[in-house]
Structure 1
Amino acid sequence: MKIGILTCARLPELLPSDQKLIPLFAKENVFAKAVIWDDISVDWSEFDALIFRNTWDYYQKETAFNSWLDKIESLGIKTFNPISVIQQNKHKFYLKELEKEGILILPTIFLEKNSTSNLYDLIPESWEKIVIKPAFSAGSYLTKLIDRSELTSIQTEFKEHFATKDFLLQEFRPEIKELGETSFIFFNGKFSHAVNKKPVENDFRVQIQYGGKYTLIQPNDDLLHQAELVLSKIPEQMLYARVDGIVIDNKLHLMEIELIEPDLYFDLAKGARERFVECFLKVTEKLRF
């Protein structure tokens, strides 16, 4: 079997933590190589399957990415996760649907592009601070934390963005500074490991590039069940999933469910890469590759 592990031009050889998957696949007689998703010289038909890992620029190339997804689907190449899952997960308004299904999410206003609404009219008075981020994005692209007093200025500053992009306006919970954000990682629907991520002082972003500190943790059974409940709302089979949220009073407040190219924190959890490869082999065996 030959598989492509998808990445972007900025990381042509993958992140070091994902590069280590390649020799593990080789031990199982699976030839794996890094492939840049928008490299026009690639002959996609040579691959039996593709795994999304470091396609971290897709949100900056929305039209090209959508066309590429259509192309791969038309070629009948299996992808992990499935393209149907990628299509749904790339736009964060999926949170609205999860909330309708009973999933607890952070208080969120879903602002559609070209909205003429005044932000002051949309934001509840009880919200002291607001996180603004695009619905089609990754990392902390165009993400800002503002005070309620800044709503007028941000409406002017983001005028062009609001005209062309859907946005999420979320109540900022100060607990994230003290308690951090928790990520639950699943392979083939089964829990693998969990990581707590805390921002540095005077920041709200937990990503490691902004100084965030990552710690492997063991969640209690109740929290794990809550994360599993979130995952159960996605009907398709997924090789990997990352459920991100803030835990307040042992309640998981969902921030995102990452199903495209999440960091899976392989380096923090012993045996995680091996479990990932094992799950891939089980899935492909069921699909009779």
Structure 2
Amino acid sequence: MAYKHHAGEQRPIDTLYAGVTNRIIAELEAGRLPWVQPWDSSVTIAGLPCNASSGRAYSGINILILWHALFEQGFTAQRWLTFRQAQALGGHIRKGEHGTTVCYADKFTPKDPNGTASEGEERRQIAFLKRFTVFNVAQCEGLPDELYGQDVPALGDRETIPQAEAFIAATGADIQMGTLHACYMPGSDRIEVPHQQSYPEQINWYRTVLHELGHWTGAASRLDRDLRSPFGSAAYAREELVAELCSAFSCAALGIVPTVRHSDYIGAWLEVLRADNRAIFRAASLASKAADYLRAFGEQRS
């Protein structure tokens, strides 16, 4: 029996559309462009995800879906396989691994069962969307060795800015370089950032480090701001804005002009903060205190 869709009932394809769209909206509302990274990953060469069996690059929305999975799960290669493709290559999916849903869109012309269409008449085409589950090669075992190679770019020389290097070093913050994402970890009081050489324009690495140092100032032992709010909450948005403004103020004080414009990031928070017309004033005040706190370390050592 053919499946009939009833009004108000959500089809699997609609669920896929909604899931991807809602995630992208969430990324934008969180101040991130899901199709733009301020750095090329220090662990993965920039490029398009591809099928490890056919070598064919994925396209359209699948690029965004697989990029998201790549960065979220820390994979080091942009190569993907279906369950059957992994088996055909002599391997298998590791137990407990969860795949990523991608889709294939096309159109077909249904056959005319009555043969009543006049010759040359253009038949109506029906669009369809088929879903597939794929796994990164890092989720597989038993594949040919060459498929496991990490797409790691060679690192060149760092383009250092002496006054910024001295400023960052003076804080004494624990900064780990070479990670996939940039973040501040309150639990371990550690900052993680990609290698500076993995940024297309290395000056933007300083903007990132100063942003994370902005979060670092909020620890309970320092300026004691709320750093435990869940992602997507208004409090999380306010703290991100404080860190971004702190970075902007610190860059200006150091004479650094990043090519990533701060307004591109701050603008993403405005919709969240419109409900409170005093929020930007509080954020700017807290950011100034954070920037002053960081600058004081250098003054103490001079």
Please give the range of the TM-score, normalised by the shorter of the 2 chains.
under 0.3
What is the TM-score of this pair, normalised by structure 2? 0.25
What is the TM-score of this pair, normalised by structure 1? 0.26
Max radius of gyration: which structure? 2
Normalized per residue, the structure richer in helix is 2
Normalized per residue, the structure richer in strand is 1
